[in-house]
Structure 1
Amino acid sequence: MLKSDGSQDEGGGGDTISHSSTLLRRLETLLVQGNSSDVVLRVETPSLDEVKVIQAHSLVLSLQSPVFEELLPSRNGSTLLLRESPDSAAVFDKFIRYLYCGEISLRLEQATPLHKLATKYHVLELQQGITQFMTQNLARDSPSGHVVGWYEYALQAGDITLRDSCLQYLAWNLSSVLLSGEWATMSSQLLMSLLQRSDLILQSEMELFAALEAWIIQNEPDSLIAENALRAVRYAMMPPQELFRLQTQSPILAHYQESVRDLLYMSYQFHSASPLHMAKYFDVNCSLFIPRNYLSPVWGSAWVINNPTRDDRSTSFQTQLGPSGHDATKRVTWNALFSPRWLPLSMRSMYTETGAMQPTRVEGGRPRIIITPATSSADFAGVNFQKTVIVMAQKQGKVVVRHVYNFHQSTEENGDFLAEANLYHRTSDYLIDNSLYLHIVVKPLYQTLITAKN
C-alpha cells in the first residue's frame, strides 16, 4: 500500500509504503505455528485443573511486557512456568495473542481476567483499553449482571477510573439496579457507598428502603452493618403515613427500631413543625433532610424535546414546595425554557437591553435550560431550590442516564451543559429517536437559621 505522508526529503515529497497488516498476520502465524519458538509458556492453575502450553518468542514477550523481560532470563531451560487463577488461565491465549497482534476480541465475562493479566504483566495499553471497554459496556445486559462485580474488582485492583464509573452508573440508574439480581450480591461496603450519596436517581426514598430491607433479609449481615445501613436512609423524605406504615409493618425496622429511633423522631418533628421554626433549633442541612434525585412527579417532571435543534421550547410543571409535611399541600409552578442556541451571559448585553432571563439565540450558541418559578411567594423564605436536569440516552438497547447537571436557575451556571453533545447529528449519544429525553428534578433545601437562645 502506497500512501503520501507529505514529508520532504532531498528529492522533494515522500510517500510511505505500508504493509503493517501483512506483518501482523505473519506474527500471528508465527505464534500459532510456533516457528522459531525459543520459550515455552506453561500456564498452570493452583489446583492444576487447567494447564496450557504455548510456544512463544522471548523477543516479542520482552518488547511488550517489562514483567516478561524480567522473568525470561530466569526460566528453567526453555520453559517458563506461570501460575494463574482459573479465570485468567482460561483467557491466557487471548492475552498472548494481543502481545503479537495488538488487537483483541472479548466478551463481558472475559474483561476482568484479561484486565488482571494486563495489570500483572504491565501491558498498560491493553489495561487502559479494557478499562475503556468496561466503562462503555456498563449498560449491556448480562445473565447475572456485571457492574457490581466490576466495581469490586476495580476497588481491589486500584483502578480508580473503572471504580468511579461503576459507582456512578449504579447511583444514576439505581431504580433498575434495585430490580436486578446484582442488588442482592452487593457488598456492605458498596451498599454504604451508595446509601450515603445525595445524587442517587430513583423513584422515592421508600423504594430505597424496600430494597434495603430485602438486602438485609437475604444477606443477614451482622447487626452493626444493618444498623449503619438503616441509619443512612433519609426517613424525613418519606411522608408521615409511609413512616407509620413502616413502623407497624416492616419486620426489619421492628427488629432495629432502637437503632433508628432518634432519626424517626426527628423525621416526625420535621413533618409536624414549620421548617422555618425547626431551622432555628436543628441543622436542617444534614443528610437526613436533603432530598436525593427523586423521579416521582412530586419532585419534578419528564420532558421529551423532539428535534431539539429546531427552536426554543417551553414547558410548565408543579412540585411540592418542600419535603416537610408542613408544606405537603403547597405547590410551586415552574416554567422551563430550552434554547438550542443560547448566547452566553457575558455577551448577552450586546444583543438585549433588559439582559435578564430572556435567551438570545445566535449561530454558534450552546444549548441551555432556564427554570424559574411562575410566581414569587412568601413561602419561599428559607428555601433554596436546586435544579437537576437528568439526560437519558440509549446504550446497548437500554435507556440509561447519560449525564446529570445541577444548577440554581440556569444551566449556564455550570458551563458544561450538553457540551459534548452534537444535537445536530442523529447518531448523537444524547438523542433517542432524534429526541432529547430529560427529567427535571427540583430539590428544595431548607436553610438553617440563627440558632435560637434558650
Structure 2
Amino acid sequence: MGAGPGGREPFPPPAITPRCHSTHRHGLAGHPARQDHPHVSCPPHSPWTRAPAAVQRLSPRTAQKADLSGEAAGATINHSLALIHRLQELLRNGNASDTTLRVRTAGSDEVKVFHTHQLLLALQSEAFESLLHNQTVVTLHEPADNAALFEKFIRYLYCGEISILLHQAIPLHRLASKYRVSTLQRGVAEYMKSHLPSESSQGHVVGWYHYAVQIGDAGLQESCLQFLAWNLSAVMGGAEWATVSAELLVLLLERSDLVLQSELELYTAVEEWVGRTQAEAPVVVKVLRSIRYAMIPPSHLFQLQKQSAAIVQHYGAIQDLLFQAFQFHAASPIHFAKYFDVNCSMFLPRNYLAGSWGSPWVINNPARDDRSTSFQTQLGPSSHDTSKRVTWNVLFSPRWLPVSLRPVYSDSVSGAIQSIRIEDGRPRLVITPAMTSPDFAGVSFQKTVLVGVRQQGRIFVKHAYSFHQSTDELPDFLAHADLQKRTSEYLIDNSLHLHLIVKPVYHSLIRVRK
C-alpha cells in the first residue's frame, strides 16, 4: 500500500493469530483477557505481546499530533447552576437532613425550625463545625432582626449566593461574624462600603459607622467617616442627623475637609442636634467649642449671641471663643497675627460651597479637548479681606501626558520615536492666580477640587483633592478615571462635575511678646 497522509507509512496490518481459548470471561470489546490472568493461557505470539512493537512504530511526531488534537477538542461542561438548584431543594425539602436548627427570638414564643445537613454547614462555618459536633438538635438564640434573616443566611451556606438590601446589611454581617462565615462577612462589608451613597428614607451611613465602631472594623469606619465629611450638607438635612452620636459629631467637627455651605449652616445643624438629643452639659460644651466662630461674619455672631438657645445657656463656656472671633474680624490679619496663633483650626476654613469661596464647574464632553475657566474668591475670612477679590484661572486637559510617556527621539535609531497612544494620557488640572497683590502678604491659599459622581440615583462627592499655593497643578488628578468612555462612573450625563474651592490661610509674621 502507498504512504498515508503526510508521507507517513500506514499502520501495519494486525498479525493474524489464533484466538486464545479460555473458560473465563473475555476482556472489554471482545478482546481476550490479559495474559497475566492466572486462568488464561495465551501463546507467545499473542497481539498483547506485540502491542509495544506497534506503539514503537508510531513516530513521536505522530503521537504528539494525536495528543494535541485531543486537547483542541477539549471543553468544559458546567452544571453548577443545576447543582446549586438541587442544594436549594435539599434545604427546602429537608431530604436526608441530619441536623435540626431551632432559632428562638428573645421576647417571642416563635421558633423557626430548619432541617439542615451538618456537612454543608460545617464546610462554610467554623462555628457550626464545632457547634454541631455530636449533636443533632441545636437551639440558637438570636435578636429579632437576625432571626428574620436566618433563612436567607442558611440558604447562603448551601448555594453561596445572597441578595441584600440596605437595612439587611448589619444583621447579615452580624450573623456572618457570629458563625464565622468569613466569605459572607467580607462580602457584606464590601457591599456597605460601595453602597454608602445609596438613597434610603431613614439614612444608613451613620448607623453603619456606629456598627463599625462596635465591631472594630477600622476600614468601614474610615469609609463612613469620609463619606459623611464630604457630603455633610445632605446628611445634616436628612433624618439620620439626629442619630449621630456625640463621639461621631466631635470627630466630624474636628475635620477641616467638611463639605458644606458655610460655618453658619454647620452651627444651625449642631444647635438642632443639641435640641433633639438632649445631650448632657459637658457634651454640649465640647460640641459648641468645636465650631469655628471666626469663620462666621460678625453680623451673624451678634444674632447668635441673642437668639441661639444653646449659646445663651452655655455662654460662659464659650465666651472666650466668641470674643476672639470678634477680635479676628475687628483687626487687620497682619496685626492680629502678631498677638494670636492663627495657625490653628479656629482660623482655618473648611470646604465651603458658598460662592465667595469657590465655584462649580461642569465640563461637557470632557474627553474632547482642553478647557479653561476663571472664578473669584474673597482674599480671606477676616472682615478686612472679604471685600478684596482674587481671580483664579483654571486649565483642564483630558489627555495630558506625563514626562515618562511623552515622545522622545532616540540617538541609536534615526528618526525613531516612542510609540504612544492618546489614551495613555491622564486628566490634568491647573489652578493659578491671575493677579498678584501686596495684600497677599501673610496669606497662602489651599486649593481643593471636589469631584461629584452619581450612584444609585444620587449625586455625591467621590473625591476631594487638595494642594497648596506653591503647586499650581493638582498631582494625580483622576489618575485612574476613564473619561474616554461614556460609561465612566465620573461622568454625569456625559459631563464632569467639579467644584473648585480656594481656602485662604493666614500665617504669623512677627510675634509680639505678651
Q: TM-score, normalised by structure 2?
A: 0.81
Distance 1:413 1:402 in 2: 16
Shift of 1:181: 0.9
Shift of 1:173: 0.9
| Match in the other structure for 2:25 | none
The correspondence for 1:254, drawn from 276, 287, 312, is 312
| Match in the other structure for 1:406 | 466
Contact 2:453 2:461 survives alignment (8 Å): yes
| Match in the other structure for 1:432 | 492
Contact 1:39 1:55 survives alignment (8 Å): yes
| Match in the other structure for 1:159 | 217
Distance 1:377 1:347 in 2: 38
The correspondence for 1:94, drawn from 128, 152, 158, is 152
Which ranges of 4 or more aligned residues in structure 1 deviate by more than 3 Å? 8-15, 345-351, 409-414
Alignment map for 1:292-303 (pairs within 5 Å): 292-303=350-361
The correspondence for 2:452, drawn from 392, 402, 405, is 392
Distance 1:276 1:348 in 2: 45
Distance 1:395 1:50 in 2: 40
Answer yes or no: is 1:194 the counterpart of 2:252: yes
| Match in the other structure for 1:203 | 261
Distance 1:25 1:412, change over 3 A: farther
Q: TM-score, normalised by structure 1?
A: 0.92
Per-residue Cα deviation, 1:308-348 (whole angstroms, up to 9, x for no partner): 01111111110000111111111100101111112326777
Shift of 1:411: 7.5
Shift of 1:193: 1.3
The correspondence for 1:265, drawn from 312, 323, 327, is 323
| Match in the other structure for 2:162 | 104
SS at match of 1:52: strand
Structure 1 portions without partners, runs of 5+: 1-7, 352-360
SS at match of 1:298: helix
Contact 1:50 1:86 survives alignment (8 Å): no
Shift of 1:413: 4.6
| Match in the other structure for 1:41 | 101
| Match in the other structure for 1:229 | 287
The correspondence for 2:199, drawn from 121, 141, 147, is 141
**Equivalent pairs, count:** 435
Per-residue Cα deviation, 1:189-238 (whole angstroms, up to 9, x for no partner): 11111111111100000000001111111111100000000000000001
Shift of 1:147: 1.4
SS at match of 1:94: helix
Shift of 1:9: 8.7
Which AA in structure 2 matches 1:418? L
SS at match of 1:327: coil
Shift of 1:103: 0.4
Contact 2:392 2:434 survives alignment (8 Å): yes
Contact 1:406 1:414 survives alignment (8 Å): no
The correspondence for 2:370, drawn from 309, 312, 317, is 312
Which AA in structure 2 matches 1:197? R
| Match in the other structure for 1:357 | none
Distance 2:430 2:125 in 1: 53
The correspondence for 1:378, drawn from 414, 428, 438, is 438
Shift of 1:149: 1.1
Answer yes or no: is 1:216 the counterpart of 2:277: no
RMSD across aligned C-alpha pairs, in angstroms? Answer: 2.0
Distance 1:267 1:42, change over 3 A: same
Distance 1:182 1:124, change over 3 A: same
Shift of 1:17: 2.1
Per-residue Cα deviation, 1:279-322 (whole angstroms, up to 9, x for no partner): 22222111101111000001000000000011111111100001
| Match in the other structure for 2:64 | none
Shift of 1:450: 4.4
Shift of 1:50: 3.4
| Match in the other structure for 1:179 | 237
Contact 1:344 1:365 survives alignment (8 Å): yes
Distance 1:346 1:274 in 2: 47
| Match in the other structure for 1:321 | 379
Distance 1:141 1:10 in 2: 56
Which deviates more from structure 2 when the two are superposed, residues 278-287 or residues 372-381?
Answer: 278-287
Distance 2:233 2:154 in 1: 40
Distance 1:61 1:325, change over 3 A: same
Shift of 1:12: 3.9
Shift of 1:350: 6.8
Name the % identity: 58
Shift of 1:368: 1.2
Distance 1:307 1:408 in 2: 28
| Match in the other structure for 1:17 | 77
Shift of 1:80: 1.1
Structure 2 portions without partners, runs of 5+: 1-66, 410-420
Shift of 1:451: 2.5
